[in-house]
Amino acid sequence: MTNQTALLVMDMQKGIAHNVPQINSLIKANQRAIAAAREHHIPVVFMRVALEKNFADVSPNNRVFSSFKQRGINMTENDEFAQIIDELEPAEDEPILTKRRFSAFTGSGLEVFLQANRINHLVLTGISTSGVVLSTALEAADKDFQITVLEDAIGDRSKDKHDFIIEQILTRSCEIESVESWRNHL
């Protein structure tokens, strides 16, 4: 079976992106990854997190997502929080899928899209390493996808946490590459 690849650009949205100190370099790395994918006709899928207006889809047991409600953060699909940052404007034919938790698979229809397009290799970028990247990578591994993480196109508030996750966890189930390295063997 030949590899059919998709680039997942995850949570590069207005309510999240500017919370990481290295956002400018992450934007540039994501722009390079997106340009390479488009040049080689690799599907680009934008993932974003959004919740129902009244947070009806969030259990009080979910510490992270229930904290958004407590802080009064509006994060429906129509709120500014959930919009993809301007610097990474999706092309008209590129899907923007909305997820409901950390993993790109949760509540988004991503798996249906991947199956319909016979995708078996995921290339991951986005924010944050300790959130969407880790959660999506582990779930994708459990679903038997081949996974590449573009380490210069992912980031976290904590560099130590970012480095630990890449070096100690993701290397078990993912190829770790720079955008440039990935581009060079497309």
Query: Where along the chain do its domains lie?
Result: 5-184
Model pLDDT, residue 3: 66
Model pTM above 0.85: yes
Peptide bond into 25 cis (omega under 30): no
Going by C-beta distance under 8 Å and a sequence separation of 6 or more, which residues neighbour residue 156?
20, 127, 128, 129, 130, 131, 162, 165
- The CATH class of 5-184 is alpha beta
Q: Is 21 left (phi over 0), alpha (psi -120 to 50) or beta?
A: alpha
| Count of CB atoms situated within 10 Å of the CB of 181 | 14
* 123-162 pLDDT tens trace: 999 999 989 999 999 999 999 999 999 999 999 999 999 9
The amino acid sitting at 60 is P
